[in-house]
Structure 1
Amino acid sequence: MIELTQFKTASLLVKLGNAVTYFRNKKMESIDLTSVQSDAFIDIIRNPGITASQMKDHIQLSQSTVAGLIARLESKHLISKTVDDRDARKVFLNPTQQGLLLEETLKEIAFETQQVLVNGMNESEQAEFARLLEIALNNLNRARSN
């Protein structure tokens, strides 16, 4: 039988993920975005001309979820879609000028989230925390693709 203490780390990670999402959602209320919408939008800012399929791979969400995110970002006039001249099935996503005005705010929210998250850790602990999170994320991504 599995004891509760054997999955304490997994439980803490779920709670951490929920807390980070809640914090980011609260911070983004003023710009009318959710944390997942901002993740999708930031991916478009960093990769102008990206396709929905590429975004799906980057932010690791389902195609239907990405389609919904794109629709919401477009309805908020933060992104525009351009159809490929050679293949009408291929649509490129780009930030609009209005969308680019939010970039600095999104960076500030990301920085504030990180500062709150690592509060009380010294630089060495922060680096180790980031290193361990990256290992854990890579492990889950590998397991996900199997």
Structure 2
Amino acid sequence: MDIDNTCGMLIRQIHNLLEKMSNKDLKEKGLTLVQVSALFSINDTAEKKVTFKELEKILHLAQSTTVGIISRLEQKNLVTSYIDDNDKRIKYVRITELGEQCCKEAEDSMLKTETFLLSNLTEIEKVLFKDLLEKVNNTLK
């Protein structure tokens, strides 16, 4: 069996290359992939804010890691954090206008990368490829 040609290894290689491309793009902006993931998670909420606890669960990260990510995003003025007026135990993080702009730029970059990734496929192959990836993903959930 050629281990380098198994589906799992091909998916891993694609993931690694996409991550490398993303990190190169983000490094120019002084961000990491997990920081952008946090920004997207906050930006995708109706009120553009989440509690630290909610963000930990969304990102599947430890409390200390989440605090560090939010701290670095605050230093870049991409988010603000504050304590709930009614319950001092609850801490919120809200995305700023600059953070929302960062999400828009990251989204544009992701779209460009995906267009490049799928550029050798026909329209039918693109639909089939996405459907198959969703099936595999659902199997693993």
TM-score range relative to shorter protein? 0.7 to 0.9
- The number of residue pairs the alignment matches comes to 139
Partner residue of 1:102? 102
Deviation at 1:34, TM superposition (A): 1.6
1:38 and 2:75 are equivalent in the alignment: no
Which amino acid is the alignment partner of residue 53 of structure 2?
Answer: S
Q: Which runs of 5+ in 1 are unaligned?
A: none
Partner residue of 1:138? 138
Cα 1:99–1:6, aligned 2, differ >3 Å: closer, same or farther? closer
Q: Distance in 2 between matches of 1:136 and 1:63?
A: 30
Of all paired residues, the percent bearing the same amino acid is: 27
Partner residue of 2:111? 111
* TM-score (norm: length of structure 2): 0.83
Which amino acid is the alignment partner of residue 98 of structure 1?
Answer: L
Deviation at 1:23, TM superposition (A): 0.5
Cα 1:132–1:27, aligned 2, differ >3 Å: closer, same or farther? same
Preserved contact between residue 74 and residue 80 of structure 2 (Cα < 8 Å): yes
Which amino acid is the alignment partner of residue 11 of structure 1?
Answer: M
Q: Distance in 1 between matches of 2:136 and 2:107?
A: 24
Q: Distance in 1 between matches of 2:100 and 2:3?
A: 46
Partner residue of 2:23? 25
Q: Which runs of 5+ in 2 are unaligned?
A: none
Instruction: State the SS of the aligned residue for 1:128.
Output: helix
Which amino acid is the alignment partner of residue 22 of structure 1?
Answer: K
1:47-93 deviation line (CA, Å, top 9, x unaligned):
21212332233334444433322122112111011211222222221
Q: Distance in 2 between matches of 1:53 and 1:139?
A: 28
